Structure 1
Amino acid sequence: MKVQEIRELIKLVDQSNIEEFVFESEGSKVKMKKNTGVTYSVVKDVQEEAPKVEAAPVQIEKTEVKPAVQEVPAPEAPKVVENAENLHKITSPMVGTFYQSPSPDADVYVKPGSKVSDETVVCIVEAMKLFNEIEAEVEGEIVEILVKDGQLVEYGQPLFLVKPL
């Protein structure tokens, strides 16, 4: 066995998960063990004089992994509207995505304080790639918008509170 072959064996054993390796061939015996201070030794007669190869111990640095902390803002407290029982709720007629404007760069249809008639479009609910305009169905003033732009809404979910005139 030649020194180059032994070096290749050392590399293979070092890269593998095995802890001990013994190789015998034609009267030569090579025995390798992995420890914290790894020592490779060649026993018996080899074609060339094989020096004892010692590897430096592997230093493993222990690093402390801290979980990433993400600050989450506290949920906004629901706004208290006086005489909420006197307000009309505009609800979603379907399941879909709520949009306050006809396109991302356009102005919103309505905002708190906007005056609406029964045919005023107040938002769009998109369902299955169909954009459905939602009308106020009551004459009055928008008091509060209950959902955020781009939020998924359910059938019957209140979208707006309107103070009827």
Structure 2
Amino acid sequence: MLKVQEIRELIKLIDQSSIDEFTYEQDGEKLKLRKQSKKPAETPVEAAKPAAPAVEHTEAAQPAPAKEEKQPEPVAETQPEPEENLENTTEIKSPMVGTFYEASSPEAGPFVKVGSKVSSDTTVCIVEAMKLFNEIEAETEGEIVKILVENGQLVEYGQPLFLVKK
């Protein structure tokens, strides 16, 4: 099967070409790459949900007399953080669509934390796609100043995962 770097190169080539879809098959394993349309993308979870029948929308729109709606209480963490100085920072982006994992296993500690020093070959996370766990390397040098995604979160191709200050 192709190595992660080869897949990254394929993604870049397809992104720059007029090809909308590419399929590669070797030894019974298949890799399929497809460009996103220009319209806003749905998350894979939303795309997998079947459309609800109109009856359910009608019932959901009617208020339920037995239930009381509670207003969410403001939490200190939900208030906007002051903008940090983001000059001289580089984004580490996801080279593929998949699930972001900060560690190699649930028992292990994260590959990197805010404040961790990274070099170009430092593994910063894993992105799982189609049951394949792909180690993602920093490909830059510096210090992690911000982790932009949560552990277990679905990520898109090109989505920023970390901010690194040089």
Q: Distance in 2 between matches of 1:139 and 1:76?
A: 31
134, 137, 140: which one aligns with 2:136 = 134
Q: Which has the larger radius of gyration?
A: 1
106, 124, 130: which one aligns with 2:126 = 124
Query: How many percent identity over aligned positions?
Result: 63
Q: Does residue 80 of structure 1 match 2:83?
A: yes
What is the number of residues matched between the two proteins?
Answer: 100
Q: Distance in 2 between matches of 1:73 and 1:108?
A: 29
TM-score, normalised relative to structure 2: 0.55
| Structure 1 gap segments, 5+ residues each | 1-63
Runs of 4+ aligned residues of structure 1 deviating over 6 Å after TM superposition are: none
Q: Which residue of 2 aligns with 1:150?
A: 152
Q: Does residue 69 of structure 1 match 2:70?
A: yes
Q: Does residue 107 of structure 1 match 2:121?
A: no
Instruction: Report the RMSD for the aligned CA atoms in angstroms.
Output: 1.9
Matched residue of 2:111: which SS? coil
Higher RCO (CA 8 Å, separation ≥ 6 residues): 2
Q: Distance in 2 between matches of 1:134 and 1:105?
A: 19
- Please report how far the alpha carbon of residue 147 of structure 1 lies from its aligned counterpart in structure 2 after TM superposition: 0.3
Higher-strand-fraction structure? 1
Q: Distance in 2 between matches of 1:131 and 1:76?
A: 34
Q: Distance in 1 between matches of 2:82 and 2:112?
A: 18
- Please report how far the alpha carbon of residue 67 of structure 1 lies from its aligned counterpart in structure 2 after TM superposition: 3.0
Q: Distance in 2 between matches of 1:148 and 1:76?
A: 18
- Please report how far the alpha carbon of residue 73 of structure 1 lies from its aligned counterpart in structure 2 after TM superposition: 5.8
- Please report how far the alpha carbon of residue 145 of structure 1 lies from its aligned counterpart in structure 2 after TM superposition: 0.3
TM-score, normalised relative to structure 1: 0.55
- Please report how far the alpha carbon of residue 69 of structure 1 lies from its aligned counterpart in structure 2 after TM superposition: 3.1
| Structure 2 gap segments, 5+ residues each | 1-64
Higher-helix-fraction structure? 2
